[in-house]
Amino acid sequence: MKDMTVTIKRFDPDKDRRPYFQTYTVKVNEGARVLNVLHAIHDTLDPTLSYRYSCASGQCGSCAVRVNGEPVLACMEEAKDKSTIGPINLAVKKDLVADLLPTLEQVASFFPKKDIVLPKKADIDAIKPLRDCIECLCCVSVCPAMDVTKFIGPTAMRQEMRLALDPRDNGDRVSDAVRDGLFTCTSCQACWKVCPKEIETPGKAIEKLRALANKRGFTLPRHLEVAALVKETGRSVPRTAESFLEQVPEVIEPYGPVKATVGFFVGCMYNLRQQQSALDAMEVLKRNGIRVIIPKEQVCCGSPLIRTGQLDYVDELKRRNIETYKSRGIDTVLTMCAGCGSTLKNDYPAEKPFKVIDINELLTQYGIEQPAKLNLKATYHDPCHLMRGQGVRDQPRELIRQVVDLVEMPAICCGSGGGVRSGNPEEAAALGKRRGTEIKKTGAEVVITSCPFCEFHIMGHTDKPVKHVVSVLLDGYREKDRLKAAEKT
């Protein structure tokens, strides 16, 4: 047995004006779960503590709580000393008991056809990834779209897709999903990453429903315009100035010895809207021994079409991009756009002839020339498609800390992804405003991120400069050069 101290968020709406925190120390066995700690507190110290549980084996979903801000099942999560435990982020009935009913009531029920239809094995296999839900609502508690719209939420969307795949069901699940906010999902992937059953709702339900909606003519007009532009130009952003690809040679050699050679995939935003960030990246790579090959015939990765369910032209884009790098014998493709990187890594065939690496991964893997430290307080916005889509969280921080003082803020979606900025600008603005508020709280003088969509969107919601990680590194190198030059004079 050992002592375990935890702090619990308490609230009894019949007695308390506002929630408060209470700290307890109890004796629990080695390897105790959070639920064991709650039992120990309830049984030995405080019988007024309310929490919910049933199966205690990860099967019923009733004991979902937040531990240090992350939604988990109390029965499965190993308890850690000095943790803070609160209810999941829904209306609270008492203490750790969240009100699940209003959300669960919106999850669609099976509506059987009159005639008996037997599902085929293929139907059952297709439904399988969506049927393990235990209705814990961890996903719902983290969904940003639900905070600012009437979106019915990820598990209800999962159920719509599950029923759409079931030949025995008689509902019109696609039009129901459109009515319930199908196009408000930002593709942030938060729901998937907290799901104890690892149900991939964004890719396996929402994008699939959007593809079915596309066949039925429900795609939003703005998304149709983007798809038409991609078909016409190979790019999802119109050309309004000289592109990055027009400004650079096909091969950029580093200043010193070559540590690695990569093929650069620039992406539409850095090619046509935020060219300077991509040019900054080339300068940073030159200083760090990376030889860069930049094929000019590369096209859009397909992400804007995949996320909005417009799949007709996606295989052609994939084919062209794969052939572009393959034909040059490139075995490593470098991305600096979180969305492109996630798409190339996760939506392109696993057996493609190259590996894909994000620029933060590359620079930390090979190590960088030390930049000068700037007297600047910065905060970092985690792009959803980098942190959740590629699992890249620590590397940008490792780089940033070499140049500026980093102040952390909560990792929340800025609202620009999943076609929301173009298709639902009011929602995107509401989420951007929330991001702007969090930035303000940090007192940072500069906002750093690693995605052009985040960069561009956040710029509209803060009065601070917003920069890619590489641009901040370059600032550090320029200051280093300036100091060196000043020493000589």
Q: Three-state DSSP class for 460?
A: coil
Alpha helices in 327-468 (DSSP H): 338-346, 359-366, 384-387, 394-400, 420-423, 425-442, 452-459
Q: Three-state DSSP class for 105?
A: coil
Are 176 and 160 spatial neighbours (Cβ–Cβ below 8 Å)? Answer: yes
Site membership for ligand SF4, residue 188 (CB under 6 A): yes
Site for ligand SF4 in 202-241 (CB under 6 A): 202
Q: How far is the CB of 428 from ligand SF4 (least distance, A)?
A: 12
Task: Fill in the DSSP letter of residue 206.
Answer: I
User: Of the listed pieces 169-177, 199-207, 276-284, 357-365, which binds ligand SF4 according to CB under 6 A?
Assistant: 199-207
Cβ-Cβ contacts under 8 Å for 403 (sequence gap 6 or more): 371, 372, 373, 374, 376, 472, 473, 475, 476
Give the residue with the Cβ less far from ligand SF4, 33 or 385. Answer: 385
Task: Fill in the DSSP letter of residue 169.
Answer: B
Closest CA to 433 of 452, 416, 450, 451: 416
Site for ligand SF4 in 46-65 (CB under 6 A): 61
User: Which residue of 8, 63, 143, 474 would you call a contact of ligand SF4, by CB under 6 A?
Assistant: 143
User: Of the listed pieces 30-38, 162-170, 193-201, 367-375, which binds ligand SF4 according to CB under 6 A?
Assistant: 193-201
Site for ligand SF4 in 279-318 (CB under 6 A): none
User: Which residue of 189, 275, 343, 424 would you call a contact of ligand SF4, by CB under 6 A?
Assistant: 189
Cβ-Cβ contacts under 8 Å for 246 (sequence gap 6 or more): none
User: Of the listed pieces 129-137, 324-332, 375-383, 436-444, which binds ligand SF4 according to CB under 6 A?
Assistant: 129-137
Site membership for ligand SF4, residue 138 (CB under 6 A): yes
User: Which residue of 4, 49, 67, 185 would you call a contact of ligand SF4, by CB under 6 A?
Assistant: 185
Q: How far is the CB of 145 from ligand SF4 (least distance, A)?
A: 4
CA atoms within 13 A on the CB side of 447: 29
Q: How far is the CB of 224 from ligand SF4 (least distance, A)?
A: 21
Site of tokens 């893997």? 365
Site membership for ligand SF4, residue 144 (CB under 6 A): yes
User: Which residue of 36, 62, 89, 186 would you call a contact of ligand SF4, by CB under 6 A?
Assistant: 186
Site membership for ligand SF4, residue 103 (CB under 6 A): no
Q: Pairing mode, if any, of strands 2-10 and 83-87?
A: parallel
**Residues 418-457: x where in contact with ligand SF4 by CB under 6 A, - otherwise, as a string:** ----------------------------------------
User: Of the listed pieces 37-45, 127-135, 443-451, 460-468, which binds ligand SF4 according to CB under 6 A?
Assistant: 127-135
Residue 71 host element (H or E): strand 70-73
Are 261 and 269 spatial neighbours (Cβ–Cβ below 8 Å)? Answer: no
User: Of the listed pieces 120-128, 135-143, 244-252, 360-368, which binds ligand SF4 according to CB under 6 A?
Assistant: 135-143
Closest CA to 101 of 113, 92, 111: 92
Give φ, ψ of 73 to 5 degrees: -85, 125
Are 63 and 73 spatial neighbours (Cβ–Cβ below 8 Å)? Answer: yes
Site membership for ligand SF4, residue 136 (CB under 6 A): yes
Binding site for ligand SF4 (CB under 6 A): 61, 133-139, 142-145, 154-155, 158, 185-191, 195-197, 199, 201-202
